[in-house]
Structure 1
């Protein structure tokens, strides 16, 4: 897409100091006067605003917002005048209008010989600058000129945002940044045509939250006559303004229990007046709400074109006629009732007949208009893509909308032969989803770098005619929605080196935050969405993160607690007027996510500890119950904020899913309890080493395979275990307290503490960290015996009880001192394997200008890497072993079964075969000089469907990862692992080399030690 030369933003987008700028836009606002500025407000006086009465109504309406925005920032209200002369001007004015529509603007252009060639005829473009002698008696003016209606509107809101008014001033209660003085640079601002022609969002799955909220705030509590919908023009007017402030232009309205064109006769009119292009979703042809309107007017007939085409044809014709006068993109094609595949007989000839009939309707509705010039789109959603790939003919002027898998992974892009269609292509993306295999709609879970990575592919594959994103209830997806539209407006601004700065800039604008505060907020939100993307909140359960291996669950909670604490600290430091916005946009999502994770992990610990006969299981049961109730308290806190402005918007149930559909209310994770006063027959003390589900003394099914008469536990340690130690939990087995000590039979064993007291009520367990002084240990295997001793505090114990109340549990420590040659540099085996974050490479080799490049913050634990630019080498792929490569040096001491082999697991993002079946996604991998192995890791699926491995609550999409496993020969010693590009869209996150003892975990082992 062409850009105006003076719109090159690059470095100007990202630097905020003491002012607020439009994110991603060229800066032209100042807050102090200079010889090169024009005064908007100074000395308590505002420049008057002139607009022509013959300009678009939407532009005139936006001009009123403009005047109000200046007042919000400065406290001074400008005079806004409909005028085509200079009679009302007493000081240099701001003149706003649309080229070729506004008499006032055309007069100014003529009087000043202003060069408007850079925007003339350009879609949604604008320019602004100071001009001399624009009107008789007016020495100068600042003119804001749009090439068309939305060009003028975007120019207005661009300036408002730079003045200090967030697009979310109403929708998230962001206060305007205050300035007494307001100026614009005389050279002004400008922007050319956007990257994506139509950019918008889709309200979907709007019950219970959005619909209940709108019913209370915009309706008479009964809703529309036919549908009961609360989504009337008052609701949508607030939406339209937000859409335009975000530089979007296209809306799919709420569809369940709603009908945009039926619910309120002003809905269509106001959308067009504001300047928003209306469409309908992938399953609602010809602007008719389906199934809602069909259920009302279909007279009980089947939604099946094979047997009921006459009625459906008339139904569609009425929809086209209703939308005729308004700017519309018509959805063509058809799905079955309830957004399901069509019934038997929904084959290619029938679909081609449907599209042909729909185009005849458009021809009849717009007499004298070439049907190929009427905007139309066909969404290749789910099985519909299969019809297209099977050969269905689609008119060349119809925009093809490619879709993701409902989980943020775009299924297919245009291939080169499809990139020259006159109708172009677009993308339907999801931040919210209801359907198999699990709904997700409660809270944000889509990292911006993931959106960037996927949508940058859309840009490169020229899928830039229409972008639409499913935002569910919109809140709490504010930031994600803005980035999607911002990137679609101007993709040239964002790249791999600066995309992570968007959140930082957003934080500065929303909260007038300092650079340091904004960086902290950015870290919080980036880690929050990363966590929720790793495992959607609706998919969280009590064992998702390992409770016993790699300290995974406790580390997850520690990270979330750190985020929550930071959010609390910032919230408390903010002025009262900024706290409501911070609550909605940062504090609540972070706190609610931490609470949910803590509740699930504590429930897992409760069940685990109960199986280990640990009295603390009761403590965790209490904690789970408290956290479960606090979840509602957080919801209620959201609903009562600002006197209930956002009541109901957190109504969404999110705890207790049993299948794909939402539960009807939240239900607490299952917990269990030990009897309060029952003695433990194995004694007062429980000893639980790290990395086991078992517990000693006594019998436990996990103590050994036999489950009884098991040997005492053993723990192992080597110098390259990441944490440098192992822990052993000393825990109460019942209601009786005891004292404990720990000793070792060698001096090289270290302990974090040597003893203490256990009180089952206030201090039910202690965690002892066991280490090794490696300077005292020879190379190879050394063993020590550690003794945990307990003495019960019950002085009245019987003789039988004394046998169980004075306990000794020996634990064997195996210390394996491994030594790396001094000349080796790289990752070292520890704890039975080697874990490598893909960004930490030893060498990175480019081929034909393509390099493995970091995607900052993209990944489960660190960042991802991908070949960049993806369209380098003309978008071609490479044969095995010839493409750009990246290398990792590692040293192993062991192999699996000591047979000389290791297993390499490459964690890659679950991108599908988006380049067509003849270009399956893949990379090559090898160790040392062994022949590299090509890995085409995304299984074949019939077009329009997903492979079996994608589905389910532990499938590719749910886990947000694909583990690609390969075996290699790697005898003990130094080696190099190498990954080569084959296809361009692979994203590698981390690599795990199993030398025999890698344990199960969700995120994989922590990154290994580097020497």
Structure 2
């Protein structure tokens, strides 16, 4: 199988293929490949000189294939303007050897092996080798065949191993000719061409990596529900439920799934019932070729709680109401029997809740046994129950029943789940991998629940998806993958990454994830290589910033307003993304802008606007507490951003004459607990009087790194809160930022003229004077040091005076303090000659995990970088994923990462430092007898082993889990001895599947912040 990077090379070559991660066979130039005279090695014309090749099928072909062929013909017409004819032949023609020629142009012959008399005739007539697809699941092949049937000199033959194999082959060609899978769902314009050719090698694909791979519409109100009600109903919805999800809605979704090479669907469940809302829903799913199921809490193809509320008798309790529940399940199986499906078995409480406290393993085993009996009765004794696809989803407490010893029939797929936040709780261990039903994964891009709902805009990193699902592949959890996508939009690109990975995981590796996004950008927007690469960068950085803390979890103090310039650095990064996305948006033609807006520009704008609003609200609150009148300006900015947030929603809803009205209606501000608020609410704001003089003086002085403000008393100036010393700051040459600032502000109604002086010449002052008035209430003064004027290893002090001169005639009693003297200490620290590594600055050392001094492997196992992963840069994880043949190492024996560092201080001059390793939230997916672990060592000290994910009750997470996933990291902290000087910190692999993001060393000056210090200077 080609690596994705190879496929992308083809995409940029003369072949001109538009598909992602597939074998390239389409071109738009007759001279793009070999044009030898031998017909078997020349290009085949799908469309040339305005004439399209006709499409032949047999009348005994699957209906879904007939439909896909018709859609493919429509796609060809959209691309070229030429419309292929479609002819269905009866099997009798081929049986009698009747001449099949009806046109002068060589045709396209489409069919399913074993279900198409047309393809059977071609194989019998030519001896065509179909061994690559015969007996395979959803595989396909194509070939240019000479003399395929009497009367035909040549044909392009498309053969599927089964009905979806044929359907996928057709949609593969649709994508390659220029029709995006998202042409309807995201309004991606069709790429027009005059001619279309296919290469002699043709297109092909073997069986997918994952057998059943699909989506789950969940937590679909208000956005998807309201949109569907507006677009697909007359406002009343289904008769019994009011649901808007009828067959007009679902057929759009079925087509999207198939174009994405997915085959499985859990339908919308809240206030909806797929089999009840529209009598055509189940029939058309099967007609299209989509396998249906029901969610983890909806057994036997029945909607819970909706159908039980409508048709159930008594309580949803198998212990006390067994017969009524049993009858309810029988009806579900009977209704679904004619159609292809995967049945959810087992039982959860009504409304996606846990079962009662009295539920036990024996009762659940009886439930599954009785459900199997229902299958036997409904499908008949001639059917082997073990051949009916069934899945038991080990969601939340259900996993606990399994871990407690519940026996599950071997042919039932064990569907392992994530923690609802993208961290898979468990994978099959070696003893579980010989089950005939195999294993799978249920995963979330969207969630309602603790610690907070997140379902507004995309906040999932594809690097995280790859990290988690590559483990699923290696640990053989590939029978079923089901992805909770909430409202479907706005997760388009990460959905396609997931479906592409599920279809063929072999094309991906740690080095080509950005290539996928660049190829996607090229296909969707027709971007050149440079802009496509920029889109990949925008997407990676956007999702990093939206996933480090979900937008719904943001508040006014998330990012520090005083430490490490964190908040302004975060906003600066958002501003850079916004400028990049805006440039590309504005460069696109008007027909491409709606798609770009939906797929990338809106989430950038929305994330930037929301983050900016919360940061500005925090600055407003802080400056009001500091009695700085500029707080009022940030109140106005916050109000404007709150309105801009809704303007973006209106922009989205107004696209294309309101096609997507309601789709962005999810609330996303001012959560009080996990559940969504009913309305967006603006952050709380404060104002400072601009009419009243400040009793401490007209001028306010706020040094960087403190909430304290001088003159006057403040609890943030010193512990006592009054009679505090004058402010001070320290500057060292190894700080990641080379200067410190002091904010000078108006504190009330009195304007003043500022002058700044120092008693030494080695202090550089950015602004020596300024006039502060109601129109200019703030002046930021940067202080830096001329290090050449200070001897190496010396510490020097300076006094910097901030003086306020009041307007003529202003009584001095209105401003009793007119100057503040700040003490500046300059420590010219230095490292020993020859040292190379990271150096302490401002009392801490921070190192991105990927920037190890040495990366030492053991055998074939080494630490590898996952790019664009986590909160700040990337992650480091042992590779291959299974580590040491699925066994662990003892501390000090496994692969290691070493970081050389130099410190000047220790905590309280004790010789001690604190090391914090920021790990990604991951669970003990090998089972609680194999908890995740890492060992940390400083110099030659004994490695300290940390089993950093505590065991929890079966089916539950550790107590601190909510905080860890909310903050995107699990801190692993240890104390070590490291007197000032050069040292080496070593991380030892013990268990596979851990991911390290960042190392932070506190030498006595670590400040509180969300992301930690910026990376230290390396010499």
Q: TM tier, shorter chain? A: over 0.9
Query: 1:733 offset after TM fit, Å?
Result: 1.0
TM-score by length of 1: 0.98
Measured in 1, the distance between the counterparts of 2:1000 and 2:907 equals 14
Equivalent residue, structure 1, for 2:93: none
Q: Which residue of 1 aligns with 2:94?
A: none
Correspondence 1:828 to 2:825: no
Cα distance, 1:679 vs structure 2: 1.3
For residues 571 and 812 of structure 2, the distance between their equivalents in structure 1, rounded to whole angstroms, comes to 44
The question of whether the paired residues in 1 share the 8 Å contact of 2:693 and 2:814 is answered with no
**Secondary structure of the corresponding residue to residue 993 of structure 1:** strand
| Deviations 1:742-773, CA, capped at 9 Å, x for gaps | 11111110122222122233x22111111001
Q: What's the counterpart of residue 130 of structure 2?
A: 116
Q: CA deviation at 1:567?
A: 1.1
Aligned counterparts of 2:281 and 2:831: Cα–Cα separation in 1: 72
Residue 767 of structure 2 is aligned to residue 753 of structure 1: yes
The yes-or-no answer on 1:773 pairing with 2:786 is yes
CA deviation after TM superposition for structure 1 residue 40, in Å: 1.2
* Secondary structure of residue in 1 paired with 2:795: strand
The 3-state SS of whatever aligns with 2:419 is coil
Q: Which runs of 5+ in 2 are unaligned?
A: 36-41, 91-98
User: Which one of the candidate residues 591, 596, 613 is aligned to 2:605?
Assistant: 591
Q: Distance in 2 between matches of 1:320 and 1:766?
A: 73
Pick from 165, 169, 184: which aligns with 1:151?
165
Q: Does 1:344 align with 2:357?
A: yes
Q: In 1, distance between residues paired with 2:779 and 2:878? A: 48
Q: Residue 872 of structure 1: CA displacement?
A: 4.0
Q: Shift of the alpha carbon at 1:798?
A: 2.4
Q: CA deviation at 1:89?
A: 2.1
Question: What SS class does the counterpart of residue 130 from structure 1 fall into?
Answer: strand
The yes-or-no answer on 1:179 pairing with 2:183 is no
Distance 1:979 1:799, change over 3 A: closer
Q: Within 5 A, what are the aligned runs for 1:82-161? A: 82-83=88-89, 86-161=100-175
Task: Report if the CA contact (8 A) 1:41-1:181 is conserved.
Answer: yes
Say yes or no: does 1:847 pair with 2:858: yes
Query: CA 1:267 to 1:14, structure 2 compared with 1: closer, same or farther past 3 Å?
Result: farther
> By how many angstroms is 1:9 displaced?
6.0
Secondary structure, aligned partner of 1:971: coil
C-alpha contact (below 8 Å) 2:5/2:512 kept by paired residues: no
Contact 1:9 1:26 in 2 (8 A): no
Q: Which of 276, 283, 298 in structure 2 is aligned with 1:262?
A: 276
Q: Judge conservation of contact 2:694–2:815 (CA < 8 Å) in 1.
A: no
Within the candidate set 901, 906, 909, 2:917 is matched to: 906
- Whole-Å separation in 2 of the counterparts to 1:542 and 1:801: 33
Quote the Cα distance in structure 1 between the aligned partners of 2:310 and 2:197.
55
Q: Which of 310, 334, 346 is the equivalent residue of 2:323?
A: 310
- Native 8 Å contact 1:13 1:27 kept in 2: no
Task: Confirm whether residue 938 of structure 1 aligns to residue 944 of structure 2.
Answer: no
Q: Does 1:45 align with 2:55?
A: no
CA distance in 1, matches of 2:639, 2:788: 48
Instruction: Give the direction of change, closer, same or farther, for the CA distance of 1:7–1:738 in structure 2 (3 Å limit).
Output: closer
Shift, 1:345, TM fit = 1.8
Q: Equivalent residue of 1:834, what SS?
A: strand
Looking at structure 1, the residues matched to 399 and 754 of structure 2 have their Cα atoms a distance apart, in angstroms, of 66
Aligned to 1:3: none
CA 1:654/1:359 → structure 2, altered by over 3 Å: closer, same or farther? same
TM-score (norm 2): 0.97
Give deviations 1:805-849, integer Å, cap 9, x for gaps: xx1110000111101122000001111011000101111111120
Asked if 1:62 is matched to 2:68, the reply is yes
Residue aligned with 2:719, SS: coil
- Deviations along 1:633-670, whole A, 9 cap, x unmatched? 11011111100000000110111100111000101111
**Aligned-pair Cα RMSD in Å:** 1.2
Asked if the contact 1:409–1:910 (Cα under 8 Å) also holds between the matched residues in 2, the reply is: yes
- For 1:857, the equivalent position in structure 2 comes to 868
Q: Is the 8 A contact 2:882 2:993 kept in 1?
A: no
Q: How much has 1:800 moved relative to structure 2?
A: 2.0
> Within 5 Å, which residues of 2 pair with 1:353-364?
353-364=366-377
Map of 1:764-803 to 2, 5 A cutoff? 764-778=777-791, 779-793=793-807, 795-801=808-814, 803=816
SS at match of 2:148: strand
CA deviation digits over 1:415-440, x for unaligned, max 9? Answer: 11101111100000000000122111
Shift in Å at residue 886 of structure 1?
A: 1.1
Equivalent-residue separation in structure 1 for 2:307 and 2:186 (angstroms) = 32
Distance 2:994 2:630 in 1: 45
Question: How big is the shift at 1:278?
Answer: 0.1
Instruction: Give per-residue Cα distances to partners, 1:333-355, cap 9 Å, x unaligned.
Output: 00011111101321111111110
Aligned to 1:666: 680
Where does 1:847-996 land on structure 2 (aligned, <5 Å)?
847-951=858-962, 955-996=963-1004
Q: Deviations over 1:311-337 (max 9, x none)?
A: 000000000000000001000000011
Query: Retained in 1: the 8 A contact 2:10–2:17?
Result: no
CA distance in 2, matches of 1:550, 1:430: 33
Structure 2 counterpart SS, 1:117: coil
Q: Is the 8 A contact 1:7 1:191 kept in 2?
A: no
State the SS of the aligned residue for 1:469: strand
Aligned residue runs from structure 1 range 510-909, under 5 A: 510-761=524-775, 763-778=776-791, 779-793=793-807, 795-801=808-814, 803-804=816-817, 807-909=818-920
Q: Which segment drifts farther, 217-226 or 38-47?
A: 38-47
Shift of 1:135: 1.7
Q: State the shift of 1:447 in Å.
A: 0.3
Residue pairs, 1:273-288, within 5 angstroms: 273-288=287-302
Q: Give the deviation of 1:988 after TM superposition.
A: 0.3
Contact 1:164 1:178 in 2 (8 A): yes
Q: Determine if contact 2:394/2:415 at 8 Å carries over to the other structure.
A: yes
Cα pair 2:17 2:24 within 8 Å, conserved = no
Cα deviation digits, residues 54-112 of structure 1 (max 9, x gap): 11110010011111111121122222222355232220111111111111111112222
User: Aligned partners of 2:304 and 2:742: how far apart in 1?
Assistant: 60
In the aligned structure 1, how far is the partner of 2:435 from the partner of 2:180?
38
- 1:385 is matched with 399
Matches of 1:791 and 1:337 in 2, distance apart? 72
1:91-144: CA deviation from partner (whole Å, max 9, x where unpaired):
011111111111111111222211001100100000012110112221111111
Once the two structures are superposed, what CA deviation does each residue of 1:273-332 show, in whole Å capped at 9, x if it has no partner?
100000000000000000000000114x11111100100000000000000000010000
In structure 1, the partner of 2:478 is 464
Structure 1 gap ranges (5+)? 1-5
Structural mapping, 1:2-13, within 5 Å: 11-13=6-8
Does the 8 Å contact 1:414/1:461 carry over to 2?
Answer: yes
Give the total of aligned pairs.
998
* Cα distance between partner residues in 2 of 1:202 and 1:546: 37
Shift of 1:504: 1.2
- Counterpart Cα distance in 2 of 1:542 and 1:76: 57
Q: What are the superposed Cα offsets for residues 187-226 of structure 1, whole Å, 9 maximum, x if unpaired?
A: 1011000110000010000110000000010112100011
1:23 aligns with 2:31: no
